[in-house]
Amino acid sequence: MMTIKLDGKKLAEKVKTRLIQRIADLKSKGIKPKLVVILVGGDEASKIYVRNKHRTAQKLGIETQDIRLQRTVKESELLTLIKTLNADDSVHGILVQLPLPEQIDAKGVINAIKPEKDVDGFNPQNVGSLFLNDPHSLPCTPAGILQFFEEYHLPVCGKHVVIVGRSNIVGRPMAAIMLNHDATVTITHSKTKNLRKLTRQADILIVAIGKAEFITGEDIKPGAIVIDVGMNRNENGKLVGDVEHSSVNERASYLTPVPGGVGPMTIAMLMEQTVNFAERSADFDGKNVFNS
């Protein structure tokens, strides 16, 4: 079987192109979309993410500000900063890069971000709205994955979607989004018995567990659509996904590459969400109607 590559680089360009006019319209109203990224310490994946976010935002004319804090920063300091950004009308989106160092309670920090500025869609209010099929913002990676299904006209309704991984960032919100699109959803994780028996039943398999090449050709049903969310370095320092592409290729009907698949889409959706939020602030004539 010929496997069709789901090209995230190309699709991300398309998503960004459809933002250009919207950003111009905002600017004619005196509004420049602005995203603030808070970084505490910083691992390798985070650095890639930050670099790519910057480059993309700059090209589009979205303002980004990075606030870099020491790894040893106090939680109270971080919370004070978020409060200031929540109150700043020039800021439309706030993203706190995860993971955070151990001394900081990530849950408390995410809770502190005003839901209307929560571009990641991680705040419990936004998670709840998503689960009730009335989303305010979608987590960027699952939102980016959904774009592939729309772009390539791949039906989701009635399909069996199997998700490997139950993280707050990908697995859980992805399950909610697929359920909202009338899929039958199975979430598998480290405690799942006979996990590979379930992955073989998937019409659509979404893998987000952070284990290099965990899913191989034998683990999928021929013709399945496979979405690889992983970004791991193998022993040679090469970037590899959670899927073994050599064996899944020619067995899957569609497959996202790594790199160039889900990663660029995550960034494109982050930009789109920032623009969405800036438009909402403009619609209300600068007045903050979401008093939270």
Active site residues: 53, 97, 120
Residue 37: strand pairing partners: 66, 95
Stretch that binds ligand GUE, among 15-23, 93-101, 153-161, 272-280 (CB under 6 A): 93-101
Site string for ligand GUE, 195-234 (x = CB under 6 A): ------------------------------------x---
Q: Which residues contact 118 (CB under 8 A, 6 or more apart)?
A: 93, 94, 110, 126, 137
Which token pair is 273?
A: 């969400």
Selection from Mg ion, ligand GUE, none that 239 binds (CB < 5 to 8 A by kind) is: ligand GUE
- Cα-Cα-Cα-Cα dihedral sign, residues 201, 204, 210, 216: positive
Give the whole-angstrom CA distance, residue 57 versus residue 19.
11
266 near ligand GUE, rule: CB under 6 A: yes
Select from 42, 128, 210, 259 the one that contacts ligand GUE (CB under 6 A).
Answer: 259
Give the whole-angstrom CA distance, residue 226 versus residue 218.
13
Site string for Mg ion, 225-264 (x = CB under 5 A): ---------------------------------xx-xxx-
What's the maximum distance between 2 C-alpha atoms anywhere in the chain?
57
User: By CB under 6 A, what part of segment 43-82 binds ligand GUE?
Assistant: 45-46, 48-49, 52
Q: Is 34 helix (H, G, I), strand (E, B) or coil?
A: strand
CB nearer to Mg ion: pick between 11 and 19: 11
Provide the pairing of β-strand 239-240 with 232-233: antiparallel
Stretch that binds ligand GUE, among 18-26, 74-82, 90-98, 160-168 (CB under 6 A): 90-98
User: Dihedral of the CA atoms 194, 200, 205, 211 (nearest 10)?
Assistant: 50
Question: Letter for the amino acid at 20?
Answer: I
Least Å from the CB of residue 41 to ligand GUE: 12
Q: Write down how long the chain is.
A: 292
CB nearer to ligand GUE: pick between 120 and 219: 120
CB nearer to ligand GUE: pick between 141 and 188: 141
Query: What residues are designated binding site for NADP(+)?
Result: 165-167
